[in-house]
């Protein structure tokens, strides 16, 4: 357990020491909330949904913040491969599963911190605060999103050798995941031909789980969201462990 903790602590400490990274990570979510959310709040009517557009979009932006931080945490693994840190880690008497788990939990914690900052920001600009049960639900789904997509980022990073290529691939994967998740529009309003893509997108269930916690009104049952996202998380952890063990330096 100590090896997992050390890798977790290393990743979190590097993040907290980089003030520009902390502030910069809030830029795009702030734009969506403060400009898109408030600007369209009185102009967009959401049939069958409680609250205005700002309240509707806030859970999706929280999930977006967690998603982006999670998947880009794989950049650290690519850099560790380039500069030899990963090789030094591999020769230690520690299983690769523990190394992978430490990296994943570190990335998930960073994502959870960023999601928490955006959640607080949403409350400051007018989103009604949820109750205690809702807050616990929000943080539970944020953590699952963080673990799942950090592990997914590690899956890609384990097969790549340079950060530029990793960034291009992650952007190619990440933006469709976000835009198909229902973060910006109600699932009931999507065209039929998009239904399949929306409901196989694991982020959809994370967004709806957070939305249920914040609004008390989601279009997917929260238990179904929990089961779907939890199953995806378990699968990606297993896949990431298998790919991590195949890394050759």
229 touches 202 (CB < 8 A): yes
pLDDT of residue 62: 92
pLDDT of residue 156: 86
Rounded to 5 degrees, what angle do the CA atoms 66, 108, 117 make?
45
Helices (H) and strands (E) in the chain, counts: 13, 0
pLDDT of residue 49: 55
What whole-number distance in Å separates Cα of residue 220 and Cα of residue 199? Answer: 10
Buried b / exposed e over 163-199, threshold 16 CB at 10 Å, is beebeebbeeebeebbbbbbbbbebeeeeeeeeeebb
pLDDT of residue 42: 59
Give residues with Cβ within 8 angstroms of 2, minimum separation 6. Answer: none
pLDDT of residue 15: 79
pLDDT of residue 109: 92
Q: Averaged in consecutive runs of 10 residues, what is the pLDDT profile of the chain (249 residues)?
A: 80 78 74 71 58 81 90 80 74 77 89 91 86 93 94 85 81 88 82 86 94 87 93 91 76
73 touches 107 (CB < 8 A): yes
pLDDT of residue 143: 94
């Amino acid at each position: 357990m100590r090896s997992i903790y050390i890798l977790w602590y290393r990743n979190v400490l590097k993040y907290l020491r980089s003030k520009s990274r902390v502030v910069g990570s809030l830029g795009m979510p702030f734009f969506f909330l403060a400009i898109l959310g408030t600007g369209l709040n009185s102009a967009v009517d959401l049939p069958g949904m409680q609250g205005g557009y700002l309240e509707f979009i806030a859970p999706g932006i929280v999930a977006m913040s967690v998603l982006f931080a999670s998947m880009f945490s794989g950049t650290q693994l690519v850099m560790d491969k380039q500069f030899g840190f990963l090789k030094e880690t591999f020769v230690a008497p520690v299983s690769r599963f523990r190394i992978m788990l430490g990296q994943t939990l570190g990335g998930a914690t960073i994502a959870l911190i960023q999601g928490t900052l955006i959640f607080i920001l949403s409350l400051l600009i007018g989103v009604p605060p949820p109750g205690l049960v809702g807050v616990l639900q929000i943080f539970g789904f944020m953590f699952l999103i963080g673990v799942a997509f950090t592990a997914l980022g590690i899956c890609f990073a384990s097969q790549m050798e340079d950060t530029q290529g990793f960034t291009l691939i992650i952007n190619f994967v990440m933006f469709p995941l976000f835009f198909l998740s229902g973060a910006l529009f109600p699932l009931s309003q999507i065209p039929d031909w998009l239904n399949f893509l929306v409901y196989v997108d694991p982020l959809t269930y994370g967004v709806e789980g957070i939305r249920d916690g914040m609004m008390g009104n989601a279009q997917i049952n929260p238990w179904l969201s929990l089961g779907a996202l939890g199953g995806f998380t378990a699968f990606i952890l297993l896949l990431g462990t298998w790919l991590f063990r195949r890394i050759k330096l």
